[in-house]
Amino acid sequence: MNEMTPLHTPNESPPANLGRRAFVRQGAWAVSFLGMGGLTALSVEANESTSIDFEPLEVDEATWREWLTDEQYRILRREGTERAFSSPLDKEYGPGTYVCAGCYLPLFSAEHKYDSGTGWPSFWRPIEESHINTKRDFKLIWPRTEYHCARCKGHQGHVFSDGPKPTGQRWCNNGVALRFIPADQPLPALRQAPA
Ligand SMILES: [Zn+2]
C-alpha cells in the first residue's frame, strides 16, 4: 500500500459512521487528525466503528474443503480468479455489507462500491484497513498488489491505483470470495474453528 494514496486525506469528508455530535465537538483538530490516520481513536470515541477485534482464524484444509464450494476454495485458498462478469455481486448495488466468504469478517461496505466496468465487484476502499492485508504478487510479469482477509488469509483480489476519488484506489474483488449481507439483515457471527 505504500505507493498508494492514504485512505483518509485531509480533504475527505468525515466518515459516515462518525457520530455528528462527536465530530462537531472535536472540531477542526479532528479533521487534521483524520489526515494522520487517527480514524481508529475517533471511531472508538464515537462508538460506531465498524472495526472488529478478531483473532486469526486457522483451520485445516479438510475444514476449508467442507466449508467452501469448489469455486470458493479455488479463489480463497489457491488465489484463483473468477471469470469476469460471472458474479451476481458485480451488479449488486443495494445497501449492505460484504463479508469474507471464508470467515465472515466484514471487508467492504456497499457505500464504497462502484461500477469499474471490469466485470468484478469493485470498491474504492475497504470497510476497515485493519480487516485487509496486502502483499506483492508477481504472478504476471508486472507486480500487482494482492490483498486478502486479515483474519483467515483468504485471497480476495488485487488493488490498483486507477480508482475513483477520494482514494483513487480500485479494490478489484472476486465476487465468489464475498458474501453480501443486505442492510436489513444482521451480520453473521464470525466463523469459528471446529472444537
Ligand atoms: Zn476471511
Claim to verify: residue 103 and residue 21 sit in the same structural domain: no
Claim to verify: residue 82 and residue 119 sit in the same structural domain: yes
Say how many Å lie between the CA of residue 111 and the centre of ligand 1.
20
Question: Is the per-residue pLDDT at 5 higher than 60?
Answer: no
Q: 189 or 136: whose pLDDT is higher?
A: 189
- Give the per-residue pLDDT at 51: 86
Domain range for 15 is 1-49
Claim to verify: residue 103 and residue 173 sit in the same structural domain: yes
Claim to verify: residue 74 and residue 160 sit in the same structural domain: yes
175 neighbors 86 (Cβ within 8 angstroms): yes
Claim to verify: residue 65 and residue 116 sit in the same structural domain: yes
DSSP 4: S
Give per-residue pLDDT as tens, 8-50: 444 444 444 433 333 333 333 333 333 333 333 333 333 457 8
How many domains in the chain?
A: 2
Residue 56 lies in a domain: no
Residue 54 lies in a domain: no
Claim to verify: residue 38 and residue 120 sit in the same structural domain: no
Q: What is the pTM of this model?
A: 0.75
- Residues flanking ion ligand 1, Cβ below 5 Å: 100, 102-103, 105, 149, 151-152, 154
Say how many Å lie between the CA of residue 70 and the centre of ligand 1.
16
Claim to verify: residue 104 and residue 152 sit in the same structural domain: yes
44-48 contacts, C-beta under 8 A, 24 or more apart? 46/17, 46/18, 46/19, 46/22, 47/19, 48/17, 48/18, 48/19
Residue 114 lies in a domain: yes
Claim to verify: residue 28 and residue 100 sit in the same structural domain: no
Residue 191 lies in a domain: no
Question: Is the per-residue pLDDT at 123 higher than 60?
Answer: yes
Say how many Å lie between the CA of residue 135 and the centre of ligand 1.
16
Known catalytic residue at 172: yes
Which position among 100, 103, 149, 172 bears the catalytic label? 172
Say how many Å lie between the CA of residue 150 and the centre of ligand 1.
7
Give per-residue pLDDT as tens, 84-121: 999 999 999 999 999 999 999 999 999 999 999 999 99
* Grid cell locating 13: 469528508
Helix (H) or strand (E) holding 188: none
Say how many Å lie between the CA of residue 177 and the centre of ligand 1.
9
